[in-house]
A and B are shown apart, each in its own frame.
Chain A
């Protein structure tokens, strides 16, 4: 019924498209695994605030990426066998996976805006939970200590955050130390170089830059991996699915 040349041409395009889609889906799965592993160990900052859907988006993307891979392999089969039933199955399942992947991209980028759109949420959380008791308090304290030591920074926008606002740290330890001792430079044996100078704020003995730049860049990196790469894969899949529908119609 349909002209053989046109159908064959479309079949070849679909097969090639599905091969590329399978590779893209597998790459999405791998990238999402990298985000979920969280090598920078900043999950507690998003977890305690309740805005942790960057990582939820990563988990969804692991499954949808792998599902895209499997469905594209199935799609190669369905296109080659010129079967209407198989093509319909392919289309319906691909649409379901497409919708889940959309959800992953949108939620990841929205929660990134909540978390690091500006430094307020991170600053408020640091002032509230650093040195606090309880599970949230200990997780945040450990995360901040690690960040301050490795990135050589203090506070969110700078050490002034600690004296500008009251905080749990201030309530627990009084005003003798204006900021935590993790803000102070340390020697290789982990001893503080000069505690008194650090308390006075001499900038040769302590870290004076804020940690927010680092935190923001890490969360942005995770989000761009999930949402922008997912967006690119979805845009490709959109055209592939349109072509598949046309193929289904002319079969």
Chain B
């Protein structure tokens, strides 16, 4: 019964907008999903490395949370003074380098997750944003052309009128 290949016991992924966050990739941190609740009360270790550097291990960062009675409990953050409810979304890995690729893996007891390969955001320089005139809108072209033509017509018509009346006298 030897396996010839490693099977992933559970999945780890980056948090997305559908999980209720703006983004899972920051410039210097990443938001990872939590191990499933059936591994509850076991301690979690995270191993990750930058593609060129040695493996970092964060040991016993948290204990896997127990299953809730309702699995996908959706709760809102109440913002009155009486109480605040919250739900746990993920784990934030901090102190990462900007714009580099990381490979991360949870280890819970004997079980390992898949290796997640993801890169942090590359911060761009705001001075590089091109703020020149974008395409001219139709409104601008129409107004400019029609008004310029009308100004010209009126000027010419006035000159002709005055010349005609002076010449006619």
Residue numbers of A with Cβ under 8 A of B are 84, 88, 91-92, 95, 98-99, 102, 105-106, 109-110, 112-114, 117-118, 120-121, 123-125, 127-128, 158-160, 163-167, 175, 178, 185, 187, 193-194, 197, 200-206, 208, 227-228, 231, 234-235, 238, 241-242, 245, 248-249
Q: How far is the CB of B38 from chain A (nearest CB, A)?
A: 25
**Contact in complex: B84, A194 (CB < 8 Å):** yes
Given A200-B31, A227-B139, A124:B131 Cβ within 8 A: yes
Q: A193-B79, A200-B21 are in contact. Are A163 and B121 (CB under 8 A)?
A: yes
A159 vs chain B, min Cβ distance (A)? 5
Complex contacts, A164 vs chain B, CB 8 Å: 121, 123-124
- Additional 6 contacts, C-beta under 8 A, given A106-B144, A231-B147: A113-B134, A159-B23, A163-B27, A187-B79, A202-B21, A228-B139
* Residues of A close to B23: CB separation below 8 A: 159-160, 163, 201
Instruction: Return the contact of A109 from the options B20, B22, B130, B140 (Cβ within 8 A).
Output: B140
Interface assignment of B76: CB less than 8 Å from any CB of chain A: yes
Interchain CB contact under 8 A, B121 and A197 = no
Instruction: Tell me if B143 counts as interface (CB < 8 A to partner A).
Output: yes
Contact of A120 among B134, B151, B158, B161 (CB under 8 A): B134
Given contacts A200-B92, A204-B20, A204-B77, contact A123 B165 (CB under 8 A): no
Chain A nearest Cβ from B122, distance in angstroms:
9
> Complex Cα distance A228/B143, Å?
8
Q: A124-B131, A159-B22 are in contact. Are A175 and B154 (CB under 8 A)?
A: no
A117 near B158: Cβ-Cβ < 8 Å: no
Please tell me if the beta carbons of B126 and A165 are within 8 angstroms of each other in the complex: yes
B68: interface (CB < 8 Å): no
CB-contacts of B88-143 with A (<8 A): 89, 92, 121, 123-127, 129-131, 133-137, 139-140, 143
When distances are taken between beta carbons in the complex, the residues of chain B under 8 Å from A241 are 154, 157
14 contacts between A and B (CB under 8 A): A91-B161, A95-B155, A102-B150, A117-B134, A120-B134, A158-B22, A175-B28, A202-B22, A203-B21, A228-B139, A234-B147, A235-B146, A249-B164, A249-B165
Partner of B158 from A158, A167, A235, A245 at Cβ < 8 Å: A245
How far is it, in angstroms, between the C-alpha of A227 and the C-alpha of B143 when the chains are bound?
A: 8
A83 CA to B85 CA, complexed, in Å: 83
- Which B residues are CB-close (under 8 A) to A121? 131
Residues of B within 8 A of A194 (CB): 77, 84, 86
A102 touches B151 (CB 8 A): yes
B4-47 contact mask (Cβ, 8 Å, vs A): 1 or 0: 00000000000001001111001110010000000000000000
